Structure 1
Amino acid sequence: MCGRYVILSPPEAMRQAFGYAEQPNFPPRYNIAPTQPIPVVVPENGGRHFRLMRWGLIPAWVKDPRQFALLINARAETVLDKPAFKNAMKRRRCLLPADGYYEWHQSDGRKRPFFIRPRHGGLIAFAGLSETWVGPNGEELDTVALVTAAAHGALATLHSRVPVTIAPADHARWLDGDAIDAGEAVRLLRAPEDGEFVWHEVSTRVNRVAHDDEQLILPISAEQADAEATKAAKKMTVRKAAPAASGEDGQGSLF
């Protein structure tokens, strides 16, 4: 599963890397979360274009999104069969620019966050599937899910699933639903090769969506991680002893 990621590259670098026509301007993001609008590269009218879509796919046949589970990830093994994804796999494949992502590893009775990035740095393209949901009053919502695959090699020791990254040489094939059918495109949905990514533990500050700053991706020592765990345990003890607080951190806007 992938539930948080980062975009650090300047807008112009992204535009050149993905070849879309628009010239959007947006700040770096260090903690992108589900339900937020995210940059997506889509094929339209013979070219590539930049679009904002809500992270969390809603299939076109859903009548009430409030009664439907949030689909932030699509499993590569079942995208050709699952009703929620099979139509998008045929015609609405897209790319999600990113510079890295977070994953949580269960260890010593707690979940420890790690920042994962390409070994040699630079932009990557997550495989995505999009869908436009149309409401009863004609309102439209562009939504997207990120495709994951079973991890292998060293990454599998961190988490069992990884986001699928599409190599630059395969961008055109993944995006072209006319020339490349779903059966052929699914062959591109592979986990990264062993050694392609590196990672380090980061602060549990990333757990809160409201935190979005460059400190989130910095490595922390084992001593710092233990200190955070101790502090969190003390807070939990206080919360259990006190009345429940109302309100949760909202999923903030991307821009």
Structure 2
Amino acid sequence: MTRPPADLTDLLDVDTVAEDLPAPSFNIAPTDRAVIVLDSAKTDPPTRRLEAARWGLVPSWAKDVSIGSRAFNARSEEIEDKPMFRGALEKRRAIVPTSGYYEWKVTDDGKEPHYIHPADDSPLLMAGLYE
């Protein structure tokens, strides 16, 4: 996410912003902190919060947080079948605002990055889970 978090508050109708948000970055790797948007249904009316989270899901039953470095992308076609994601899928969903992401193509010269992003540079919103 290359935009400052303050740019997202109006755009995503955020009510509260955490104080410890990470700075904008062109490269957020698994286990790095990233900005996420959460809805709190426990308040009336519900509130939308901008928070920081570590990229990589660590299930509540995991004995070691390093599992998060291996569980950082969930495939939508498999998510319902994997116990690791079940609890979060049912109750803990988030929006992950991004500027874009990279897909890599293997060529004879090595790997070639392709940056996927909206043409108008608006944020690309991805689905996220948290524990």
Please confirm whether the aligned pair reaches a TM-score higher than 0.5, indicating the same fold: yes
User: In structure 1, what is the equivalent of residue 37 of structure 2?
Assistant: 41
Do the aligned partners of residues 71 and 103 (structure 1) sit closer, same or farther apart at CA in structure 2, a change above 3 Å counting? same
1:129 & 1:41 partners in 2: Cα distance? 11
Q: Superposed, which structure 2 residues align to 1:18-97 within 5 Å?
A: 18-23=12-17, 27-44=23-40, 45=43, 46-66=46-66, 70-97=70-97
Asked if 1 retains the 8 angstrom alpha-carbon contact of 2:55 and 2:68, the reply is no
Q: Corresponding residue for 2:10?
A: 16
Residue 10 of structure 1 deviates from its aligned partner by 3.4
Shift of 1:20: 1.7
TM-score normalised to structure 1 length:
0.45
TM-score, reference length from structure 2: 0.84
- Structure 1 residue 89: deviation in Å? 0.9
After superposition, what is the alpha-carbon deviation per residue over 1:91-128, rounded to whole angstroms, capped at 9, x for unaligned?
Answer: 11100111111221111151111221112321121110
Answer whether contact 1:100 1:117 (CA < 8 A) is retained. Answer: yes
Residues 5 and 35, structure 2, Cα contact 8 Å, conserved in 1: no
The alpha-carbon deviation at position 41 of structure 1 amounts to 0.5
Aligned mates of 1:67, 1:119 — CA distance in 2? 35
Describe how 1:173-212 pairs up with structure 2 within 5 A. none
Counterpart residue type for residue 4 of structure 2: P
The residue type paired with residue 94 of structure 2 is C
- TM superposition shift of 1:69: 5.9
After superposition, the Cα gap between the structure-2 partners of 1:122 and 1:87, relative to the gap in structure 1 and judged at 3 Å, is same
Q: Kindly tell me: are residues 62 and 27 of structure 1, through their superposed partners in 2, closer, same or farther at Cα, counting changes over 3 Å?
A: closer
Equivalenced residue count is 125
Deviations 1:156-195 (A, max 9, x none): xxxxxxxxxxxxxxxxxxxxxxxxxxxxxxxxxxxxxxxx
Seq. identity, %: 35
Evaluate the alpha carbon distance shift between residue 67 and residue 42 of structure 1 in structure 2; reply closer, same or farther with a 3 A threshold. Answer: closer
Superposition RMSD on alpha carbons, in Å?
Answer: 2.0
**Which structure would you say has the larger Rg?**
1
Query: Measured at CA, do residues 67 and 102 of structure 1 come closer, stay the same or move farther in structure 2, by a change above 3 Å?
Result: closer
- Gapped regions of structure 1 (runs ≥ 5): 1-6, 132-255
Contact 1:93 1:127 in 2 (8 A): yes
Q: CA deviation at 1:32?
A: 1.1
**Contact 1:62–1:68 at 8 Å: present in 2 too?**
no
Shift of 1:16: 0.9
Report the Cα distance in structure 1 between the residues aligned to 2:107 and 2:59, rounded to whole angstroms.
35
Runs of at least 4 residues of structure 1 off by over 6 A?
none
